[in-house]
Amino acid sequence: MIGVLAKPGQAAVVEEFFELFKTPWEFYRAGRQYEVVITTTADIPAIAAPVVFVYSAEATGVDARHRLTLGARHKRGVLTPYRDGHSLPIYGDLATFTDPAGAVPCLASSAGIAGLRVEHATSTIIRVGYDLFAEVEYLLSIGQPAEHAHVPTLDLHIGMLREWILNAGIPVLEIPPVPAGHAFAVCLTHDIDFIGIRHHRFDHTMWGFLYRSTLGAVRDLLRRRISTRRLLRMWRAAASLPFVYLGWAKDFWEPFDWFLRVEKRLPATYFLIPFKGRSGQKVPGRHASRRATAYDVDDLSRQAVTLMQAGCELGVHGIDAWHSAALGRDELARLAVITGASNIGIRMHWLLQDADSAAMFERAGYAYDASAGYNDTIGYRSGTTQVFRPLGMATLLELPLHIQDGALFYPQKLDLSEADAEQRCSTLIANSRRLGGVLTLLWHDRSHGPERFWGEFYAKLVEGLKSENPWFGTAGQVVSWFEKRRRVQFEQVQTEEGARTSLRYDGEPIAPPLVVKVHLPKDDRYSGRSTRADLSWDGTRPADVDSPRPFINPQRAHSLS
């Protein structure tokens, strides 16, 4: 059991952190025995525990008692854990230590030592120069700048904490964000901004297509971004445009048949525009009028039936919901008529959002939002592979967006070659393999056809993901799985045989089941036992898990008083 002693105002952040690091914990209660205590306060009461973590950029009572000297204090920094070498950005205050005395450095930064380990005969103190929960709050509210988008920062914080606990000889019981029998989850999503070029005659969209598929294609050939074969395909598409308008040739931007063929038997989520011709209010930047679309959900009643029969999900591609709950309800109601669904999610058109957007979505009645991503790059805007609850929300959950086609290939964005884009995506896939969670992809409606021709890359990406043994789910299914994981409660029970932890859950069966892990320290005293004991659990009945005791007696642990 972990006891948490946090600063005033951090309770909600602590609770969300331990929904992501799903392990037994509670807010610190005096007189209780804990294997681990985590504190971010400067004034620390007398604590007896085998392992105590002190996360603070300020001087604390622990520093004076253990002769730890704080050095310079910095705004932001980048850390490198001594053990695994992963760089870790810090967005708040960061303190370094000038004189480790008898302590052992366990965390470094370019500015100096940022973390120390103090060993005693019966306990370990980890002193870290930043506030863990302030970092989590920043990631879940403001989000990471693009320069650190590639770093799953919040997940690394969890991994580093887990590793430190294990290194101190304390077993860790955890429900990781990994569906049983799978490596991680994958969510395939599509924002439907266009349903065909036939709806665009002599407008910005048509002229833009003609330029990019002719003169722009020549430029891309000279930049070695496309082959001569692809150039000829673009020219052929441009030449066929009059025949598309006349109905004599297939509309090469029609997306649904292509996606259903490439994603055969895989569920996907399609976010549909509720109202045609609406660019929306409060749209920042130039060219706001271009945000309006030439279709709405009423034009897709036949396609909607086909998609739902194929096991796909329909969500709202919101126009004004990001700033108005009333307008968000109108957009939700428009899609509900088509789908008949009660739990509908949203992703904002152009990913528009501000500090109040989550509250607007929740008040409007959405089950989840899927807008937490980047337009200009790929990666982890909130620092995590996991579905999370935006701070202050009661019901809304957030599905993070990780890989977007336009961010990879647009000249104004990353402007990557396909080889470089494959490498970037492979890095995120490797992170998912290691961390679990969900990898969310966004491929737009017209990206498979001319003039983009990013369809072959996407098909290859999907085929590669299949080989990783993920669980493919719609956005709603993935969010629901994480919501059920959040509802699991830990109860510690003392028996004559020792301590046991009981898992309690009230709800529908969890499918795929959860994985319950007991991580054991790499210690000779645990020889003969697996370093991780796994249990598959669907929540249909209570589960009891043996709680291996640490080899440190908590009653004899060093006191911080």
pLDDT by residue (tens digit) across 71-123?
888 899 999 875 556 789 999 999 999 877 788 888 888 888 999 998 887 78
**Consecutive H or E run containing 490:** strand 489-495
CA angle 138, 144, 147 (to 5 degrees): 150
- The reply to whether 212 and 318 lie within a common domain is no
Q: What whole-number percentage of the chain has pLDDT above 70?
A: 94
Domain contains 184: no
Q: Does 277 share its domain with 330? A: yes
Q: What is the reported pLDDT for 556? A: 34
CA of residue 264 relative to chain centroid, distance: 25
Which tokens sit at 232?
Answer: 């000829």
160 domain-assigned: yes
**Pair 236, 264 in one domain:** no
434: exposed, middle or buried (C-beta count within 10 Å: 0-12, 13-18, 19+)?
Answer: middle
> Is there a domain that residue 421 lies in?
yes
The reply to whether 92 and 234 lie within a common domain is: no
- Contact between residue 403 and residue 440 where contact means Cβ atoms under 8 Å apart: yes
Residue 259 and residue 133 share a domain: no
Token pair of 331 as six digits:
């957009």
Same domain, 424 and 536: no
The whole-angstrom separation of Cα 263 and Cα 266 is 5
Examine residue 185 and state whether it is found in any structural domain, yes or no: no
Instruction: Give the 3-state secondary structure of 17-41.
Output: HHHHCCCCEEECCCCCCCCEEEECC
Domain presence at residue 359: yes
**Same domain for 376 and 512?**
no
The confidence band for 551, taking pLDDT boundaries of 50, 70 and 90, is very low
The CA radius of gyration of the chain, in Å to the nearest whole number, is 26
- The total number of structural domains that make up the chain: 4
Last residue of a domain, which of 432, 458, 482? 482
Residue type, 106: C
Residues 266 and 168 in one domain: no
Is residue 75 located within the same domain as residue 215?
no
Per-residue pLDDT reduced to its tens digit, 308-362: 999 999 999 999 999 999 999 999 999 999 999 889 999 999 999 999 999 999 9
Give the range with max mean pLDDT: 510-514, 518-522, 537-541: 510-514
Burial class (CB in 10 A: 0-12, 13-18, 19+), 440: buried
418 and 437: one domain? yes
Q: Which helix (H) or strand (E) holds 54?
A: strand 51-55
Do 383 and 523 fall within a single domain? Answer: no
Query: CATH no. for residue 394?
Result: 3.20.20.370
9-45 pLDDT tens trace: 999 999 999 999 999 999 999 888 899 999 999 888 7
CATH code, 41: 3.40.50.880
pLDDT tens digits for range 420-446: 999 999 999 999 999 999 999 999 999
Report pLDDT for 496: 67
In Å, what is the CA distance from 140 to each residue of 94, 136, 380?
19, 6, 11
Which of 482, 508, 528 is where one domain is finished? 482
Establish if 554 belongs to a structural domain.
no
Asked which of 482, 499, 532 is the last residue of a domain, the reply is 482
Q: Would 157 be classed as within a structural domain?
A: yes
Residue 293 has a pLDDT of: 94
What is the crossing angle of helices 228-239 and 204-213, to 10°?
A: 140
Range of the domain at 355: 190-196+254-482
Q: Are strands 368-369 and 397-398 parallel, antiparallel or unpaired?
A: parallel
The residue with greater pLDDT, 271 or 342, is 271
Determine how many CB atoms are found less than 10 A away from the CB of residue 505.
Answer: 20
Q: Whose structure tokens read 């330029």?
A: 211
Q: Which residues, in sequence order, are CB contacts of 398 under 8 Å at separation 6+?
A: 358, 368, 369, 370, 372, 382, 387, 388, 389, 390
Average pLDDT over residues 202-216: 89
Amino acid symbol at 357: S
In a domain, 144, yes or no: yes
pTM here is: 0.93
What residues are paired with 72 via a beta bridge? Answer: none
Q: In this structure, are 506 and 421 located in the same domain?
A: no
Q: How sure is the predictor about 175, in pLDDT bands with cuts at 50, 70 and 90? A: very high
